[in-house]
Structure 1
Amino acid sequence: MARINTQSVEDRSGILEEEDHMRGMERIGMEVISISRPFASVARVTGRIAPADPAPWMPPNQAVRIAVEEPEGQRPVVRVYTIRAFDPLRSEVEIDFVIHEDDSPAMRWLKSARPGTVLPMIGPRQHFIPLPSGDRRAAIFADETAIPAVYAILMAWPGGLKGSAWIETPDRAAFDELPRPDGVDLHLILRPAGVAPGSAQNLLQAAKALPDPQTWTVWAAGERVEMRDLRNHLRKAGVARTDLQVLGYWKKGMSSSDLDRARLAEYEALRARGLTLETLGDIDLPV
C-alpha cells in the first residue's frame, strides 16, 4: 500500500479543475536548464517552457503552482511561486526558491533536481501589481518570500510613477540585486540572523511610519498575520480600499498545504453560494 503523503491537498469535488478556477491557465512542463545560488538565501532555477501563447507570461508578478512531489494515487503536492523573469525569445523562466533548513517538499525537490529534470506547473496567474493612481505615490512592503515579485514589478515599473519600497530580508545581497527604476527609493530592513521572519512585524512598523498614508497606493506581501495587521492599519489611516493590494504569501507556524486546504474550503463554500473566484478574499481567511 502506498504511503499517504500528508502534504497532498485533496480536491474531492474537482472544483480546482473547473473553468472558474483555471481561467485560461495551462498545464505545462518546465525543463530545468540550471540551478544557481546567486546568494546564500536563494536557489535560482532557470527552466525552459513551451507555452501555447507567450503573451500571458510576459506581464510582471505572474504566479505558478508547481508540483514539487507527485505521490502515487494522490494529487501532486504543489507550491506557489512567482516568475522572477521570463524571456519570450528563449522561452526561459527564472524561479527563486528561498532556502529553508527544514525538510519540506520544495527543499526535497530542489536537492534532487538536475538539468533535464521536468517540473510540472500550472499557470500563469496574474497577481496584483502597484497601479498608477493619479498623482499618488506607490509604496511596496515585502519580505524575502516576495522579493521575486518585487524584482519583476520593478523591472516593469511605469515611467513617471513615484514610489518607495521597504524590503525585509536577512540577506543584503538579495536586496542589492533589485532594480532601481527612476523615481523609486528602496529601503532595506535587514533582519538579524536568528530572528524568525514575521516575528518582529518590521513591515507593519514601516507602514505605520508612512507619511500622509492617504496619498499612497500600496502593494504588500509577506507573512499573512502581519499583512492583515498592515492592511487594517492603512485602512484606518485613510488608504482607500481600491489603493490597497495586500497578499499573505505564508503563515508562521502553518504549512503551505494547510493554508491551501483553508483556501479550498473557503472557495468551495463561496461556489456553493453561487459566487466566483473574485470573491475569495484571501487575506481575510480565518487562518
Structure 2
Amino acid sequence: MADKNKHVDEISGVETTGHEWDGIRELNNPMPRWWVYTFYATIIWAIGYAIAYPSIPLVREATKGVLGFSSRAEVAVELANAKAAQAGQLEKIASSSLQEIIADPQLQQFAVAAGESAFKVNCAQCHGSGAAGSKGFPNLNDDDWIWGGSPDEIYQTIAHGIRYAGDDETRVSEMPAFGDMLTTDEMRQTAAYVVSLTGTPSAPELVDKGKQLFADNCASCHGVDAKGNREMGAPNLADAIWLTGEGEQAVINQMKAPKHGVMPAWLPRLGDETVKQLTVFVHSLGGGE
C-alpha cells in the first residue's frame, strides 16, 4: 500500500523523496559509491586520529593519544633551539662596542631585528609603534635630537633615562618658569621672535624686542642662533619641529609653565645587551647620526 503512494518521476522513472518546493520535486537518487566509501573512510580516519593524538577534551585535560605527541613540547624545543642559535650573537653583542656592532652587517641585522621587538614591547607606548612620536614624545625618525643622535648618545639616553630619579647618570635639564620673570607682553614678544625663526608671527612688529629678550634670557641655553644645546638638553628652536606644541601660544605656555618630560632608565630593567640592540634599532631608523 505504501509503495503505491510513492511518487515516481515520469521522465526519469526515479522515485522522489516526497519533498516539494513550489511544484519542484526532489529525486531520490542514491549517492555515488565512491562518495559513500570516501565518507566512511573519513570516519575511520577521525577515529584513528582521536586514538593516536590528543583530541578528546576531559574535565582537566585532553586524552594524550597513543603517540604521545605534544604541540607544547614541540614549541618548547623550537624556543630552546632559537635561544641556542641566538646565544652566539648575544655574546658578540655583549662583548662588542656599538660601533663594532654597526660595522658588522650580520650582527647589525640581528641587533636591529631584536631591537625592534624590544622597542614594540617597551617603547611604542610613548613613541608609537613606528617611532614617530606624538605631542610631548619625540619622533625618533627625524634628525632632530635634544640629547644627540650618535650611537653612544642614544645609548646613554636609553640606558639612564631622562630626569629619572632612580639613576645618578640620568639626563637632566630644567627650563625655568619665565612667567615669574617676564611680563605677559615680554613673553609675547619673545614668542613672536621664536616663531619668526621658522614662520610668520601674528605681530611681526614684536620680533625686534623679542630678539633682545631672547638674547638676555634664553640664549644661554638655546644658543645665540636658537639652534639648541645638546649638552644641556635645550632643543633647537630654529627648525619647524616642535615637541610640546606649535605656534606662539604654545611657546608662551612653555615659557610660563615649562613641561619637562621623563623617561625611565632602561639599563637596570633590560640589561646591556637589549639596550645595545635598542640603540642600534633607533639609530637605524634614519635620523641617527
For the criterion TM > 0.5, the same-fold answer is no
More helix by share: 2
TM-score by length of 1: 0.20
- For the pair shown, the structure with the greater C-alpha radius of gyration is 2
TM-score by length of 2: 0.20
Structure showing greater relative contact order (alpha-carbon pairs closer than 8 Å, 6 or more residues apart):
2
More strand by share: 1
